[in-house]
Amino acid sequence: MPKDNVYTITPPKNLVCLDWGELWRYRELLYTFAWRDVKVRYKQTVLGVGWAIFQPLFTMIIFTVFFGNLAKIPSEGVPYPIFVYTGLLLWNYFSTSLSSASSCLVDNENIIKKVYFPRLLLPLSTAVTPLVDFGFSLIIFFGLSLIFGYVPCVIGILLLPVLLFCSFLTALGVGLFLGSINAKYRDVRYILPFFIQLLMYVTPVIYPSSIIPESYRWVSFLNPMAGVITMARGGFLYGIIDFNLLAMTFGISVLFFMFGLAYFRKTERFLADTL
Amino acid sequence: MSDTIIKVENLGKKYQIGAKEPYYSLRDQIANLWNFNKKKAVEEFWALKDVNFEVKRGEAVGIIGRNGAGKSTLLKILSQITPPTTGKITMNGRVASLLEVGTGFNQELTGRENIFLNGAILGLSRKEIRKKFDEIVAFSEIEKFLDTPVKRYSSGMYVRLAFAIAANLEPDILIVDEVLAVGDAQFQKKCLGKMDEVSKKEGRTVLFVSHNMGAIEKLCKKVIVLDQGNIKDDTNNVLKAIKNYSYSNNEGVGKKNAEWLKREKQFAGDFIPLRYSITNEKGQLRDMPVRNDDDIWIQIEGECKADDLNINLSNVIYDADNNVVFVSTTYDGDEDSWPKFMKGKIRLLNKIPKHFLNQGEYRIVLTAKFNKGDWIIGLSNDCPTVNLEIQGGLSNSPYWIDRRMGMMAPILEWKSI
């Protein structure tokens, strides 16, 4: 019997280091959870994966009609459909990750109460799963660009993984925090849709961040998603990178993540008792 | 073979009761801000206290105890689902626990997909699962339904699949909670056989919680008896421990023994027993001990949730050594005479004739089963149980005033010709 199989179970101490080795050993489970979520999502649906395409597409059309054509929201010289779709692309990823990360602990209550595995895998997988939808949305994005005769800049494509990573960290950080609270106080599930909706209006998804007065703009960039979407537009549509904004956004999303993780770690071991 | 694989020292687990509600809401918390003086009574409750034991590699250990004795808490701590409050456990090997059947299953996914999902949750890699796949399928006997979503499975198929996955995982330590309560008798046998094989042939350690004393006796080399969070007995003398346990079951003597009442939240399903008692012919409770020159009636009061249930009830009579003396079921007679199970309350009486059993103590257990085979209340459940004590009245003869030799004490006819 190899010695590394020996382990002890003791009462939880205040802060235990994250066991990276264990997470790595369970990496297949992360994959399996993500695979399960993708599979279950489109089971018993007629359109199946078609949903991943229809949702952003129709949101874009409605937004274009009402915000672009009727309310005449400025779009910085780019066709409004392309403009708003760039925002939706990352926003949809963020909001889906956030809402599923916040509810995943309660949704998987039956497993958490009966089987041991690193609990972090659940929120982690819920933030990975929407990447599939993101992929489909991205294909639509290129299609749209083609239709409108707009060639996305290479800089944007290069920047995308970084922006996606920032969204991932933010969604996961907030999701870990809200998910832990949700395990104890189920109010979170009522507040969350409302919270996400408000957040979308605070984030420059349907309008450009340039309409915010310059002296207040930094406040809006405390929201990492504001920076992410602004930079996505800058990168894709104009081929520019604002490195200050990038550093700030990245820094804040890491902070969000660290905070969420710390809170999650604190509550994790008692999950089975509180759920 | 004698190295220690689990070592539990001073283990304790405290819960706070009274303060805990089904779930908290922020609103309640805010509302409570204004009620400083109305502090809710927080009561501490030790589900486990000062628990110490060791398990050796390859040992099959049975854990028995009443509901609420701390069995499930112990298994949950051993499987790292909930942390202990005090103490320390040292484990030496990979654990697979089957605390509830099919918990890792996803209703929408097929059997095949669920094998991979459940395997992964229990800590297996896809490669290992693929290697074990055929074995799992063969054991679970669900070949035909592999590509059907498990939500369309019967409860029996569900258990079979779940057990097949866990048992084929090859963990160093297999922890099995009362999961074999479902499934038909044949499959239960198969599961027990598999567990036996796992511990004896493969030299793995099995921790097994059950109310089925027969299974414990057959499978386990060692028994731990838990009582209100403490270890009451930790012995290799399995038979003796089971016997002591079985007879400490019903607290109190006299009338109490002869009557069983359903506890809150106990049992759900088409048939729910409400009261089980030893009575006279009119259904009036009798004092223990009873004399043997009166008929003894076992009364079952229960509720059927649907009309014309195709079920049968059985009284299983055990003697003091835990042998089944006989079984009496509602479909013993020809079909016309079977009791009808119509929706609503039902009441049945079953006669044990006078001068039939011998003087002594008996345990009578109620089971319920669909005629097609699925258990409603199987023997492994915490089923309704009453204790019968027969003393005196053994025959009309002046010579037989004490226990007779043999298991039975019938008065049979003699003729001179």
Q: What is the pLDDT of residues B250-262, one digit of tens each?
A: 443 334 478 888 8
B82–A12: do the CB atoms touch at under 8 Å? no
B82–A6: do the CB atoms touch at under 8 Å? no
| Diameter over CA atoms, chain B | 94
Q: Mutation test of the interface with chain A: which of B103, B107, B152, choosing the one with the most A Cβ atoms within 10 A?
A: B103
Task: Locate the domains of chain B by residue range.
Answer: 4-248, 254-390
A186–B25: do the CB atoms touch at under 8 Å? yes
- Contacting residues of A for B24, CB less than 8 Å apart: 184-186
Residue A4 pLDDT > 60, yes or no?
Answer: no
List chain B residues with pLDDT less than 70.
1-2, 17-42, 101-102, 179-185, 246-256, 380-381, 398-401
Closest-CA distance, A48 to chain B, in angstroms, reads: 14
Predicted local distance difference test score (pLDDT) of residue B161: 86
Predicted local distance difference test score (pLDDT) of residue B328: 92
Q: Are A134 and A91 contacting, i.e. CB atoms less than 8 angstroms apart?
A: no
The percentage of chain A sitting over the pLDDT mark of 90, rounded to a whole number, equals 47
Predicted local distance difference test score (pLDDT) of residue A16: 60
Predicted local distance difference test score (pLDDT) of residue B299: 93
B100–A114: do the CB atoms touch at under 8 Å? yes
- pLDDT bracket for residue A61 (50, 70, 90): very high
Q: pTM here?
A: 0.72
Query: What pLDDT digit, counting tens, does each position of A217-229 carry?
Result: 889 999 999 999 9
A7–B91: do the CB atoms touch at under 8 Å? yes
B122–A115: do the CB atoms touch at under 8 Å? yes
Which chain A residue is nearest to residue B79, measuring alpha carbons? Answer: A116
The verdict on A29 touching B (C-beta cutoff 8 Å) is yes
Closest-CA distance, A15 to chain B, in angstroms, reads: 14
The verdict on A27 touching B (C-beta cutoff 8 Å) is no
* More confident: A100 or B169: A100
* Rounded-to-integer distance, Cα A51 and Cα A96, Å: 14
Predicted local distance difference test score (pLDDT) of residue B160: 83
B125–A270: do the CB atoms touch at under 8 Å? no
Closest-CA distance, A112 to chain B, in angstroms, reads: 7
Residues 115-134 of A with CB under 8 A from B: 115-117
**What's the domain count of chain A?**
1
Read off the pLDDT of each residue in A20-43 and give the average, rounded to a whole number: 84
Instruction: Work out how many CB contacts closer than 8 A connect A with B.
Output: 114
Spell out a b/e string for A138-163, using b for 16 or more CB atoms within 10 Å of the CB, else e: bebbeebbeeeebebbeebeebbebb
* Rounded-to-integer distance, Cα B195 and Cα B58, Å: 11
B81–A113: do the CB atoms touch at under 8 Å? yes
Predicted local distance difference test score (pLDDT) of residue B381: 56
Which chain A residue is nearest to residue B166, measuring alpha carbons? Answer: A115
- Of B156, B164, B62, which is closest to residue B104 (Cα–Cα)? B164
- pLDDT bracket for residue A247 (50, 70, 90): very high
A10–B106: do the CB atoms touch at under 8 Å? no
The whole domain housing A150 covers: 34-274
* Rounded-to-integer distance, Cα B130 and Cα B119, Å: 10
For domain B254-390, give the CATH number: 2.70.50.60
Q: Mutation test of the interface with chain A: which of B8, B17, B26, B110, choosing the one with the most A Cβ atoms within 10 A?
A: B26
Closest-CA distance, B254 to chain A, in angstroms, reads: 40
Which positions ≥6 away from A121 have C-beta within 8 Å? A23, A26, A29, A30, A33
A40–B84: do the CB atoms touch at under 8 Å? no
Predicted local distance difference test score (pLDDT) of residue B27: 66
Closest-CA distance, B26 to chain A, in angstroms, reads: 6
Domains B4-248 and B254-390 share a fold: no
For domain B4-248, give the CATH number: 3.40.50.300
B121–A185: do the CB atoms touch at under 8 Å? no
Cα-to-chain-centroid distance, residue B187: 16
* Rounded-to-integer distance, Cα B392 and Cα B272, Å: 35
Q: Are A97 and A127 contacting, i.e. CB atoms less than 8 angstroms apart?
A: yes
- Taking each continuous run of H as one helix and of E as one strand, the counts in chain B are 8, 18
Of the candidates B89, B90, B120, which has its C-beta nearest A29's C-beta? B120
- Of B6, B119, B123, which is closest to residue B58 (Cα–Cα)? B6
Of the candidates B80, B113, B126, which has its C-beta nearest A116's C-beta? B80
Closest-CA distance, B108 to chain A, in angstroms, reads: 6
Q: Mutation test of the interface with chain B: which of A35, A108, A115, choosing the one with the most B Cβ atoms within 10 A?
A: A115
Quote the DSSP letter at residue B102: T
- Contacting residues of B for A187, CB less than 8 Å apart: 25-27
Lowest model confidence (mean pLDDT) among A24-28, A154-158, B102-106: B102-106
Predicted local distance difference test score (pLDDT) of residue B127: 87
A115–B97: do the CB atoms touch at under 8 Å? yes
- Contacting residues of B for A1, CB less than 8 Å apart: 3, 92-93, 172
